[in-house]
C-alpha cells in the first residue's frame, strides 16, 4: 500500500473482502481522528459502494439502503453521499451522475477514472495534472489548478474480447 501511483484497483482479480474491510476500517479511523460522525446510514452507503467496483446512482443506492432496512427517503441517501464525497470517502463520476468508493482512502489525491462502457466497471487511479501537459499549459498561463475531472471511457480487460474482431 505504498508507492507514488498504485495500480488502478477494480479491473484485476483481487481479494475483494479486503477491499471492503480495509475501506471501512480506513473511514472509521479517519472519522475518529478528525471528529467526523460516521453514522450508521453513512457507513452503510460506504459499504454498499465498497462492495462494487462500479458507479451507483443515488436511486440504486437508495434501493439497497431500503433492502438493508434503512430510511427510504431520498434526502437520507443524498445527505450521506454529500458527507462521504465531501470527505473523500467516495467520488462522484460526473459523466454517469453516480458515485464510487475511493480506492485510495486516507490519502489526499485527485482521482482519475477509467470507465468501461460495456459493463460500467470503474477503476480509479491518480491524476497528476501538475506534471502533465495540462500542468505545463497552466503554468505558462499563470493558472493554479485546484481540481480536475478525469474520466476516461473505454473497454475494460474483461470486456475487451467482445469488441476486438
Candidate residues 31, 80, 100, 116; the one interacting with Zn ion per rule CB under 5 A: 116
Degrees to nearest 5, angle at CA 93 with 88 and 94: 120
| Burial (CB count <10 Å: 0-12, 13-18, 19+), residue 47 | middle
Minimum CB separation of residue 100 from Zn ion in Å reads 8
| Burial (CB count <10 Å: 0-12, 13-18, 19+), residue 126 | middle
DSSP state letters, 135-152: HHHHHHHTPPP----EEE
Each residue 86-115 as x (binds Zn ion by CB under 5 A) or -, in order, gives ----------------x-x------x----
- Judged by CB under 5 A, which stretch of 23-31, 77-85, 138-146, 150-158 contacts Zn ion? 150-158
Binding residues among 13-42 for Zn ion as defined by CB under 5 A: 16, 19
Minimum CB separation of residue 32 from Zn ion in Å reads 20
Closest CA to 112 of 73, 150, 58: 150
Candidate residues 60, 134, 149, 159; the one interacting with Zn ion per rule CB under 5 A: 159
Closer residue to Zn ion, CB minimum distance, 42 or 76: 42
d(CA 129, CA 52): 27
- What is the contact surface with Zn ion in residues (CB under 5 A)? 16, 19, 102, 104, 111, 116, 118-119, 121, 156, 159
Amino acid at each position: 500500500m505504498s508507492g507514488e501511483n498504485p495500480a488502478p484497483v477494480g479491473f484485476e482479480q483481487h481479494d475483494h473482502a479486503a477491499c471492503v474491510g480495509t475501506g471501512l476500517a480506513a473511514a472509521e479511523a479517519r472519522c475518529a481522528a478528525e471528529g467526523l460522525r460516521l453514522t450508521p446510514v453513512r457507513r452503510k452507503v460506504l459499504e454498499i459502494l465498497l462492495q462494487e467496483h462500479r458507479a451507483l446512482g443515488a436511486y440504486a443506492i437508495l434501493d439497497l439502503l431500503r433492502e438493508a432496512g434503512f430510511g427510504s427517503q431520498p434526502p437520507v441517501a443524498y445527505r450521506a453521499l454529500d458527507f462521504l464525497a465531501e470527505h473523500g470517502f467516495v467520488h462522484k463520476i460526473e459523466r454517469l451522475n453516480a458515485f464510487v468508493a475511493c480506492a485510495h482512502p486516507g490519502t489526499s489525491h485527485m482521482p482519475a477514472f477509467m470507465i468501461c462502457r460495456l459493463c460500467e466497471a470503474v477503476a480509479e487511479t491518480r491524476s497528476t495534472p501538475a506534471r502533465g501537459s495540462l500542468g505545463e499549459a497552466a503554468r505558462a498561463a499563470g493558472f493554479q489548478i485546484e481540481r480536475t475531472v478525469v474520466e476516461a471511457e473505454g473497454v475494460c480487460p474483461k470486456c475487451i474480447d467482445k469488441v476486438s474482431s
